[in-house]
A and B are shown apart, each in its own frame.
Chain A
């Protein structure tokens, strides 16, 4: 499973958005999550991908693609 597929799965589990509508360009503020839900979702992403993303990287995220990039950066 690719990083994007893992991230998309976690997002789909935490939001009402159809997975088919989630792309790397999807904005995080369009997922229907509040800040707490977003942070919980990010904790799940880190668990699923077995990475620890620095807080500053979380602050820089604006899109689903940014989440994937941060995960991949932390895997290296």
Chain B
């Protein structure tokens, strides 16, 4: 199935983790600074080996956005059957997503999630889960794209 996005300066594609990981190094700290909670207690430390192991197990889904080959955004999910609904087919549990601030213009955010949906569907995914931070609320975008507001989640640092 062809990409939804044509005639755009931005290219969307699925990529191996290693290729993505090499290019995302300068972006992860920006992502962490903008999104992560408890930053004074929990430092960024991406577990490359575990991601590679998940890729080897066929669980990883890495969709990238590139502008003239430069990595400008991404959507990463884990794909596996839900432990509560093992007969319900594959489900996608969104791990991370991010677009560099200077590229958050016009339809790009919507395009990233619609491309994610298209590529997940191609892999046979039946249902996808994603969330957003309270301090960077994308609810309106997700609801406009057909996602249902279904949960409220909470965190507490207990270390």
**Chain A residues close to B by CB (< 8 Å):** 27-36, 38-40, 42-43, 55-56, 58-62
Distance from B130 Cβ to chain A, minimum over Cβ atoms (Å): 15
CA A38 to CA B138, docked complex, whole Å: 12
* Residues of chain A contacted by B87 (CB below 8 angstroms): none
B4→A56 contact, CB < 8 A: yes
Cβ–Cβ contact A56 & B114, under 8 A? yes
Main SS at interface, chain A = helix
Q: How many A-B residue pairs have CB under 8 A?
A: 70
Interface flag for B109 (CB, 8 Å): yes
Are A35 and B141 touching (Cβ within 8 A)?
Answer: yes
Contact A38 B106 (CB under 8 A): yes
In Å, the complex CA distance between A6 and B141 comes to: 23
* Residue interface bits B1-31, CB-to-A below 8 A is 1, else 0: 0001111100000000000000000000000
Chain B contact residues: helix, strand, loop or mixed: loop
Query: Closest approach, in angstroms, between the C-beta of B13 and any C-beta of chain A?
Result: 15
- Interface residue from B5, B104, B115 paired with A34 (Cβ < 8 Å): B104
What is the chain B residue whose CB lies nearest that of A35?
Answer: B109
Residue of A nearest to B138 (CB): A36
Partner of A35, one of B4, B6, B104, B115: B104
Q: Is the CB of B145 within 8 A of A33?
A: no
Give min CB distance, B41 to chain A, whole Å: 30
